[in-house]
Chains A and B, each alone.
Chain A
Amino acid sequence: MSKKDSEYLINRKDNQYEVVIGLEVHAQVLSESKLFSTSATKFGAEPNTQVSLVDAAFPGMLPVINEFCVKQAIKTGIGLNAKINKRSVFDRKNYFYADLPQGYQISQFKDPIVGEGKVILDMPNGQKEIGIERLHLEQDAGKSIHDLDPQNTFVDLNRSGVALMEIVSKPDLRSPDEVNAYIKKLRSIMRYLGTCDGNMQEGSLRADVNVSVRPKGSKEFGTRCEIKNVNSIKFMQMAIEYEANRQIDLIEEGKTIDQETRLFDTKKNETRSMRSKEDAHDYRYFPDPDLLPLEVSEKFIEELKNDIPELPDDKKKRFIEEFKLSPYEANILVSDIDTAKYFEEVVAKMGKNKDIKLAVNWITGELFAVLNSKNFEISQSPVSAKNFAILINLIKNGTISGKIAKTVFELMIDGDKDPQKIVEEKGLKQQSDPKTLEALIDKIINDNREKAIEYKQGKEKLFGFFVGQAMKASGGKANPQLINEILKKKL
């Protein structure tokens, strides 16, 4: 493998191969109730407690579209800079399975609710645009549980009918790193919009990964394989790497690649054939006659557009312009909506005389370190934005030094304490009174006459010694800048 200019190429003998990847991301719509019924969608509920007659496909039951889910899909489409289709059609995808009560999944086949769009990825070498082919709404299936009983399979229909958005990318991705950035970007956008919580552990976000390879420079696509239902970014990356190498090995051996559906075995770290193209289901798609075509007006879409919050790309731009942040810093702050919220709240609470750069350094440094060590999300931060802002201001206005601030921060963590109070109670206030400091320094010079003379004779290194003595004598509280100034004057 070579990584020249961050290009992801796989070498075999004298040949270089490029990997072409397209993703079908299944994102669970953030909604209290299901796509076509009023059942709840809460994760982790007791099996079969969130199932209506519609979800279980009882005779004579009919689907009724949940308007909120439609709004969520349109908002997501807007977030993906995509064309919103005023008329879309729900189709039936027919197949038999124990956890598919209707015997078909209601999905959108020919006429999806959202058409072409794009997302921008920030890669180390600059930005890359990834095309979105479409986004459509569909129902999730239930869950078959095979390991509770040696003879029987159990079915949990809680998930049956939950709304999913299938977001199909163009085959524009070229490396596992880009896949990582793409998934994170999608997740970020949807979390900003509040349309998907992006929780991969709970299955709210999973993807089918299409992988093909071709000689570097080739314009034609190779035969692709689809790896079904991968539920973490790490597994997606591992699966792509394995699959690309497998395909290249076949080509190098002069064999052909069969278009097929494969599964990723996370234990063995390999992909396995699930079914070939010949065995592919004939889903017999046709428009669901129980549902009329979904029509939305221009006004409906406009109202949703007005409802769209500032999205990560715009926020990043604004942070760079307004707060003079570097693109790198801005990226870190905007990628997660809660981090951005925290940062903006800190900025707001710092008031007029604020040091944004300092705040950013402290958020990405000390705060992130604490969150990482405790495995917390920023929304669970033990230090509120308000107290965090106070701390930064205390540093900025010289009340405490950066070093003391670290001590204060550690004390704040336990119970979100007010840093001002900690400084007062523990007597950590910086010594900034020139007279007190002068007296202190006079004493040090007096006690170290010989060293003072050596300094005056040109041994400049000794300046650090005097600073150290002064800090020590003040118990670390002396304002280092003042100490410097006074020492220079006195020596």
Chain B
Amino acid sequence: MSDITKQSLTNLVENIRNKKLSSTDVTKAFIDRSEKSENLNAYITNDFTSALDKAKKFDQKPNLDLKLPGIPMAVKDLFCTKDIKTTAGSKILNNFIPTYESTVTENIWNEGAILLGKLNCDEFAMGSSNETSFFGNVQNPIDRNLVPGGSSGGSASAVAGQLTPVTIGTDTGGSIRQPASFTGIVGLKPTYGSCSRYGIVAFASSLDQAGPMAQNVKDCALLHEVISSYDPKDSTSIDFKRNHYSKELTNNIKGKKIGIPKEYSVDGMPKEIEDLWLKGIQYIKDCGAETIDISLPNTSYALPTYYIVAPAEASSNLARYDGVKYGFRAKGENLIDMYEKTRSEGFGAEVQRRIMIGTYVLSSGYYDAYYLKAQKVRKLIKNDFDEAYKKVDAILTPSTPSSAFKIGEKTNDPVSMYLNDIFTVPANLAGLPGISIPAGHDSKGYPLGLQIIGKAFDEQNILNIAYAMEEKINFKNKITDWWIK
């Protein structure tokens, strides 16, 4: 079956369950395509040989009751995987092989999936274009020399390019939704506390959240159902009743109230984004739901707040990479010299920039003006959503202020790069779930996404809305396989 890699996760599971396909068939197909797709640079590390072994083993004694029976899957290289190198896209972890497994990936393997390899990402998930990775740029399957977005750029590229049926990314300020939008796929950032952070290389602890990335909403719901779990090993994990998201998925959203926040109409937003949003509103109405104009007054403070909170936490989280215990170590005259050289050589420019910002905003004399104030604003942003959700069930916005840009186009302009996250960071700051679905193309034929932000723990609702809209939008990703050798 030559079209195995074109199939959705849901179809593959069905075909394996009714024995039309074996795990080996499927695994082989994705390995073949991955091997031909080196030009995308989506993988940092592959584990193809043992993936095939595992697939064969699965086929010998298949457990078809599992949710992901024998499904091969590559994951972002921010998830620690036992005995498989885990780099977080950084030179400083280039030789790091964990002896442990992240809870999220553990959940995936427990449901029968098989690890294909580790996917490229921005260094320590700091970036919006995958250009900060120590392991090089990732190409967007949509077009040559186009960024896939970031930080889960390798993940987005691998799903859009059909190198893996689905994948997982992490989203601290938009790192799942923005690349999903840039590559024409679906990406869900769950409620903070829904997926365990145990074993995920930390960027900003109060914002980081793992989530699924897939070709369609149903696949996304299925994978989310697998990865979301209460985990006592993560003190911020929340013990709430989790749905069977894929089973309970419905396109009936009649009577739902969807908020349209006027503050997301930002200055200088391209007309095609504005048009896409209007189209989205029409789709909502076509589904029998209602749109209501709302206001989230503190939206404009979200980005500056994010760029204080996230670097502050990162500056502390990344202190452990000091050359003493694991990872890269540079030779030094003494301890301080070793620290300085290790961290100067081991971290890339963007990571160093954020460590500097974070250290600055936490310094005595600046703490109150920056960090403390940012925490207060964060609370206001959350209050905005709480107010809005008294009137509406979910909120519709564009996912990004533009379509994918060219590699190198924004590397020398960090502020313009940071602006990519303008629509996605509020959900992180407020701990709310958000999903990006492909909703159209710009004039260049590049995909554009719409974002649905939900109430906390209300993933089912935004998945349903996305599912209903997906049907109306009927999006087709334009993949030409230009990169295939």
Binding site for B on A (CB under 8 A): 53, 56-65, 92, 94, 96, 98, 101-104, 153, 155, 282, 284-286, 288-292
- The residue that B362 contacts in the complex, of A62, A96, A284, with Cβ under 8 A, is A284
Contact B335 A59 (CB under 8 A): no
In the complex, chain B residues 204-261 whose Cβ is within 8 Å of any chain A Cβ: 204-206, 232-236
CB distance from B164 to the nearest CB of A (A): 21
Residues in A with CB closer than 8 Å to B197 are 60, 62
Contact A59 B86 (CB under 8 A): yes
Residues in A with CB closer than 8 Å to B236 are 289-292
The 9 closest A-B CB pairs, nearest first, are A103-B319, A289-B205, A284-B362, A289-B206, A60-B199, A57-B320, A59-B201, A60-B80, A290-B205
Contact A53 B99 (CB under 8 A): yes
Binding site for A on B (CB under 8 A): 79-80, 86, 88, 93, 96, 98-100, 102, 197-202, 204-206, 232-236, 312-313, 315-316, 318-320, 322, 324-326, 335, 339, 359, 362-364, 367, 371
Residues in B with CB closer than 8 Å to A65 are 235
Counting chain B CB atoms within 10 Å of each CB, which of A59, A64, A65 scores highest?
A: A59
CB distance from B144 to the nearest CB of A (A): 34
- The residue that A60 contacts in the complex, of B198, B313, B371, with Cβ under 8 A, is B198
Contact A289 B320 (CB under 8 A): no
Residues in B with CB closer than 8 Å to A63 are 235
CA distance A107 to B57 in the complex (A): 48
Task: Give me 21 A-to-B residue pairs in the complex whose CB atoms sit less than 8 angstroms apart, sorted by A's number.
Answer: A58-B98, A58-B100, A59-B88, A59-B98, A60-B201, A61-B198, A64-B233, A96-B339, A101-B320, A101-B324, A153-B335, A155-B324, A282-B364, A284-B316, A285-B362, A286-B367, A289-B205, A289-B313, A290-B236, A292-B235, A292-B236
CA distance A292 to B237 in the complex (A): 10
CA distance A395 to B198 in the complex (A): 68
Contact A62 B233 (CB under 8 A): yes
- The residue that B102 contacts in the complex, of A60, A291, A292, with Cβ under 8 A, is A60
| A290 and B235 in contact, given A60-B202, A62-B198 (Cβ under 8 angstroms) | yes
CA distance A65 to B233 in the complex (A): 10
CA distance A58 to B324 in the complex (A): 11
Contact B202 A59 (CB under 8 A): yes
CA distance A288 to B316 in the complex (A): 9
CB distance from A89 to the nearest CB of B (A): 12
Contact A96 B319 (CB under 8 A): yes
Residues in A with CB closer than 8 Å to B202 are 59-60, 290
CA distance A72 to B51 in the complex (A): 49
Residue of B nearest to A280 (CB): B364
Residues in B with CB closer than 8 Å to A103 are 316, 318-320, 322
CB distance from A93 to the nearest CB of B (A): 10
Contact A94 B316 (CB under 8 A): yes
Residues in A with CB closer than 8 Å to B198 are 60-62
- The residue that B80 contacts in the complex, of A57, A59, A64, A292, with Cβ under 8 A, is A59
Residues in B with CB closer than 8 Å to A155 are 324
Contact B235 A60 (CB under 8 A): no
Residue of B nearest to A103 (CB): B319
Residue of B nearest to A60 (CB): B199
Residue of B nearest to A290 (CB): B205
Counting chain A CB atoms within 10 Å of each CB, which of B79, B102, B316 scores highest?
A: B316
| A60 and B320 in contact, given A284-B362, A289-B313 (Cβ under 8 angstroms) | no
CB distance from B312 to the nearest CB of A (A): 6
CA distance A60 to B88 in the complex (A): 11
Residue of A nearest to B93 (CB): A59
Contact B316 A57 (CB under 8 A): no
CA distance A140 to B18 in the complex (A): 57
CB distance from B65 to the nearest CB of A (A): 30
CA distance A210 to B445 in the complex (A): 70
CA distance A64 to B197 in the complex (A): 12
CA distance A65 to B371 in the complex (A): 25
Residues in A with CB closer than 8 Å to B98 are 58-60
CB distance from A69 to the nearest CB of B (A): 14
CA distance A104 to B204 in the complex (A): 15
Residues in A with CB closer than 8 Å to B88 are 59
CB distance from B80 to the nearest CB of A (A): 5
CB distance from A11 to the nearest CB of B (A): 40
